[in-house]
Structure 1
């Protein structure tokens, strides 16, 4: 199992919690299996119902839409798994001996780039709900603030103490950096067509240099 594949991780979690007589558990497992096999967009509710051994109307009665079905699985999974995922990512990068902020930032981008690339369809649904679903946003944002944003802020303070980052308050610096990075991934995997980008390595390196040095030409 790929450590970055959310669908595979969700399948493992559902199986570990499975109650054989629970229709919703069967629907959830069937849905995630099919999303992993065929992709979210290419999976129909009728296919999910067939694999789960239930009527298609049962899915609509419980969830209303395929998107709500995915969210009913994704939201509790993220809330439960995000602390461990964030800890693992930052520990993995820090363990590589990143002595400079530039090295750390480049490694973090490469790590998360692969993650979002592998989970593109889920990320697209996630962004849509984050923008338009207030209940979803209120549920998930505090978890990102606690487990991701605060780690970024701590990293900024660390490299400020080493004299590598400008001496400004860490909160607006962390907020700006988070906004830049998040917007980059949204642009890359949600908004822009594939042919709008160069190869992955070039795109990442260009972004690193823009964030570190800005767009104004030096004297």
Structure 2
């Protein structure tokens, strides 16, 4: 729910909950950046939606980019680190799996629920990361430091068992992530109003990663 991630954003940015104007500014900025994108959103529009004077925004944030980073950087450092890295690593990589299939199913369900809860801010990341190299560098460092080595061990383990073909780890990671990202983007960004059977879609994604489009014999 919206209130959940807003509460977490407020905590991550150190915003005083008693400062209602700043809370409304953050909430309005998330809404506007998510709906229209950063470049197409003006501070006057944010102020109008927040119900404050435009000058009030600049009391807390020197520029519109500072306001963007007040949202995006906590998403990376507070949400990406605990949820995508720390919690994700604990929930996923500290468990043992008897098959790559079960590992995939756990990963997809975990990230699917994360996306369901935090998609407004994830959408801002998706929109803005290509245009802000510092954000891209931050994400790359998080992935390289916290995720890649753990995923590599999983890949090598199941390659030794004959459950995954002998491909370089980056290729296995790419072939695994692409359908998962496609599912999440289609479900929450491109066609959110469609009637979805989420469990069936997750299962179809698992089977596609494992077997592609070729009928099993």
Q: Deviations over 1:136-158 (max 9, x none)?
A: 32333322332234433332123
Match of 1:117 in 2: 116
- Residue in 1 that maps onto 2:42: none
Which residues of 2 match residues 1-219 of structure 1 at below 5 A? 5-15=4-14, 29-32=23-26, 41=35, 44-48=46-50, 50=52, 55-59=53-57, 62-64=62-64, 69-85=67-83, 86-94=85-93, 97-195=96-194, 198-219=196-217
Q: Structure 1 77/118 Cα, relative in aligned 2: closer, same or farther at 3 Å?
A: closer
Q: Distance in 2 between matches of 1:179 and 1:150?
A: 19
In the alignment, the residues of structure 1 paired with residue 21 and residue 153 of structure 2 have an alpha-carbon distance, to the nearest angstrom, of 41
Deviations 1:19-76 (A, max 9, x none): x9xxxx9865443456799x965994235363xxxx42242572327xx624323214
Unpaired runs of 5+ in structure 2?
37-44
Q: Structure 2 vs 1, CA of residues 155 and 32 (structure 1 numbering), >3 Å: closer, same or farther?
A: farther
* Preserved contact between residue 7 and residue 35 of structure 1 (Cα < 8 Å): no
Structure 2 vs 1, CA of residues 35 and 112 (structure 1 numbering), >3 Å: closer, same or farther?
farther
Q: Offset of 1:194 from its aligned partner?
A: 2.7
Q: Residues of 2 paired with 1:80 and 1:154: CA distance?
A: 26
Tell me, which stretches of 5 or more residues in structure 1 are unaligned? Answer: none
CA RMSD of aligned residues (A): 3.6
> Given that residues 34 and 120 in structure 2 are in contact (C-alpha distance below 8 angstroms), is that contact kept between their aligned partners in structure 1?
yes
**Post-superposition offset of 1:105:** 0.8
Please give the TM-score of this superposition, normalised by the length of structure 2: 0.73
- Does the 8 Å contact 2:25/2:57 carry over to 1? no
Number of paired residues? 204
Q: CA deviation at 1:188?
A: 2.3
The answer to whether the 8 A contact 1:94-1:104 is kept is no
- Indicate the structure whose relative CO is greater, using CA pairs within 8 Å and at least 6 residues apart: 2
